[in-house]
Amino acid sequence: MCDCLFCKFSNGEIPVEKVYEDGNFFIIRDINPQAVNHYLVIPKKHFKYLSEMTEEDRANLGEMLAAIPKLEKLLKLEGGYRLVINQGDDAGQTVPHLHVHLLSGQKMGWNPAG
Ligand code: 5GP
Ligand code: ZN
């Protein structure tokens, strides 16, 4: 068993409402939203850093990113959206399972150190 929150969400060990699920990834709402809509787009396979990706992970991540704009209505992306991947301590990564933050539904400023 993987001792990782997002793996437990992925395999159903911890129940969570999945907004969307596909073969390689799933999407949930962030528990502590930083925008009107704040989703987490999560590959099912566990890895922490982009630097760890295998060829297969690269293909899966590419498919995952390509799927996002196709979910425009579901994720309310009409006005634009922001994707963020935190990597490591300086970025404030708290869950050691790669995920993409998706923020939408409002005008956003830009304060990377915020
Ligand atoms: P990170 O800081 O690693 O980039 O992002 C982890 C995100 O996971 C944070 O934005 C945090 O709010 C979110 N998160 C942590 N625990 C839970 C949880 O139990 N449920 C959900 N839906 N989100 C969580
Ligand atoms: Zn994991």
38-85 residue pLDDT tens: 999 999 999 999 999 999 999 999 999 999 999 999 999 999 999 999
Rounded (to 5) percent helix, strand, coil in the chain: 25, 20, 55
Instruction: Give the CA angle between residues 29, 77, 44 to the nearest 5°.
Output: 45
**111 pLDDT higher than 90:** no
Q: Which atom of ligand 1 is nearest to the CA of 85?
A: 4
**113 pLDDT higher than 80:** no
Average of per-residue pLDDT across 78-99: 97
Cβ(93) – ligand 1 distance below 6 Å: yes
Domains in the chain: boundaries: 5-104
Q: How much distance in Å is there from the Cα of 82 to the middle of ligand 2?
A: 23
- Given this model, what pLDDT does residue 1 score? 67
The model's pTM is 0.96
Active site residues: 99
**Residue whose entry in the numeric block shows the structure tokens 């295998």:** 54
Cβ(103) – ligand 1 distance below 6 Å: no
> Mutation test of ligand 1: which of 9, 27, 40, 85 has the most ligand atoms closer than 8 Å to its C-beta?
40
**35 pLDDT higher than 60:** yes
Structurally, at CATH architecture level, domain 5-104 sits in 2-Layer Sandwich (3.30)
Average of per-residue pLDDT across 85-111: 96
Residues 67 and 61: their CA atoms lie apart, in Å, by 10
Cβ(113) – ligand 1 distance below 6 Å: no
Residues 19 and 40: their CA atoms lie apart, in Å, by 10
Name the nearest CA neighbour of 91 among 112, 63, 62, 65: 112
